[in-house]
Structure 1
Amino acid sequence: MRSRARTNSKHRGAKMSREFCPARIRHLIVVALIILGIAEARAQSQESSSRPPKQAGRMQSKQNVPAPNTPSDPANAKSTYVIGPGDLLAINVLHEPEVSEKVSVRMDGKITMPLVGEIQASGMMPDSLQAAIAEKLHEFIKDAEVTVVVEEMKSRQFSVMGEVQHPGSFPLLRPTRVLDALAQAGGFRDFARVTKIHVLRRTPQGTTVTLPFNYKQVTQGKNDSQNIELQAGDTVIVP
């Protein structure tokens, strides 16, 4: 009887041991996973705290980007433009449509306006002409507000002809050299003879002179004197 009881107790102990082992293993696995998760979370927290914020990094990179060059304002160039024969002017007198009109500067440099009559325009800048017209109108319109806009600049132009991308005439708004003129014309076409460029210029005596321009030499700094400043009426020829 005692031996049978011992045998039964051994069987029950072995059975309990077999039932207990898988449960304990599962428990240990769960504990290990929890510990690994906590360690990984701490590592990520330390890494994120040592790394600078993304937004700040983006803002800093934007601040380091250089600002683009701002092109010159065409309106400012027109305000300093010197009026000449052939230019088309839009003259506006505030609240006075009968006096406001568009006029071309005659070859003698004058324009004709209602109430004002003839007035010298050539050789003046728009602001100066505005003041002169307002003074002439004073006896007819008190405190007249006059605006003069040069709509077509025909008196001070240069031309670029031949093997360029955009041949034609261009207003001479500011000091312009041959290289500037070629850039305004869009550069050369494929078969342009850039060493044979020349500038045609009319002299006060009515003759035409030819001024050479070797693009390769000028851009290499060998003959900068050929990069002359253009005058009104000059024509750049690119063969």
Structure 2
Amino acid sequence: MRAVFLALVIVGCAGCRSLEEPPGGDPPPFEFRLGPGDRIRVSVWGEDKLEHETVLGPDGVVALPLIGDVRLEGSTLDEARVEVAQRLRQSVLVDPVVSLALLDMRSHVVHLQGEVVTQGPIPFTHGLDVVSALSGAGGATRDADLGDVRVIRGVRGKPTAYGVDLEAVLLGEQRAMWLLPGDVVYVPAALTPRWERWWRGALPWADPLPTPTR
């Protein structure tokens, strides 16, 4: 279902001719909060049998020894630790010392689509920009149009497309757009082969050679 939704968003925004300018300045502060798909480890000092690894379900709930289901979605790691400790204190333990570690983050991702080596989600980290995200996906394919990259972001409940000229970014002429969790980076295919674009740029007065055929 999520894949279908992403496809519809890309189809709706990738061809937009009216694009927003990428926001400037530094990325806004980001505080990680647990969400569905995140894997955590819960341990209690002196209680080895209570150490447990689990994944937050689609409803944001985990099942833990002694205390059963606990909703942790939307909690910071420290808030989740305090919640688990309180639940254990209400059961059988006195002043439990709880540790909670994040093992795998799946709830906060950025999606890479189009002419990239590896399509799909990559983990979000604060300060992630378009260049770093593209590198995390293995880079762009040879057919990519780096001058017309789109970043699709939900703004006030509606998908908004931003235009990013990665060629200008790589040349140091523009600053790379920073990303937020849930952003979709779409790299379109170039309508004109890269060798032909180079030819026209280097020799604007000459016609390019015919495209080789197999």
- 1:87-115 per-residue CA deviation (whole Å, 9 max, x = no partner) reads 23232334546644343334554444344
The residue type paired with residue 89 of structure 1 is I
- The counterpart of 2:98, out of the listed 137, 143, 146, is 146
Residue 162 of structure 1 aligns with which residue?
114
Q: CA RMSD in A?
A: 2.8
- Cα distance in 1, alignment partners of residues 118 and 57 from structure 2: 30
Residue 44 of structure 2 aligns with which residue?
93
User: TM-score, normalised on structure 1?
Assistant: 0.54
Q: How does 1:1-239 map to 2 (within 5 A)?
A: 81-94=32-45, 96=47, 99-107=50-58, 109-139=60-90, 140-205=92-157, 207-224=158-175, 227-239=176-188
Residue 13 of structure 1 aligns with which residue?
none
Residue 192 of structure 2 aligns with which residue?
none
> By how many angstroms is 1:164 displaced?
2.6
Unaligned runs of 5+ in 2: 1-30, 189-214
SS at match of 1:198: strand
- Cα distance in 2, alignment partners of residues 135 and 217 from structure 1: 53
Number of residue pairs aligned between Structure 1 and Structure 2: 157
- 1:71-129 per-residue CA deviation (whole Å, 9 max, x = no partner) reads xxxxxxxxx74322332323233454664434333455444434435544233332442
> By how many angstroms is 1:189 displaced?
2.3
The residue type paired with residue 138 of structure 1 is R
C-alpha contact (below 8 Å) 1:81/1:173 kept by paired residues: no
The residue type paired with residue 213 of structure 1 is V
What is the identity percentage for the equivalent residue pairs of Structure 1 and Structure 2?
A: 26
Query: Structure 1 residues 203, 85: closer, same or farther in 2, change over 3 A?
Result: farther
- Cα distance in 2, alignment partners of residues 153 and 203 from structure 1: 23
C-alpha contact (below 8 Å) 1:93/1:145 kept by paired residues: yes
- Cα distance in 2, alignment partners of residues 157 and 129 from structure 1: 21
Unaligned runs of 5+ in 1: 1-79
Greater share of residues in helix: 1
Structure number, greater radius of gyration: 1
Residue 204 of structure 2 aligns with which residue?
none
> By how many angstroms is 1:215 displaced?
0.7
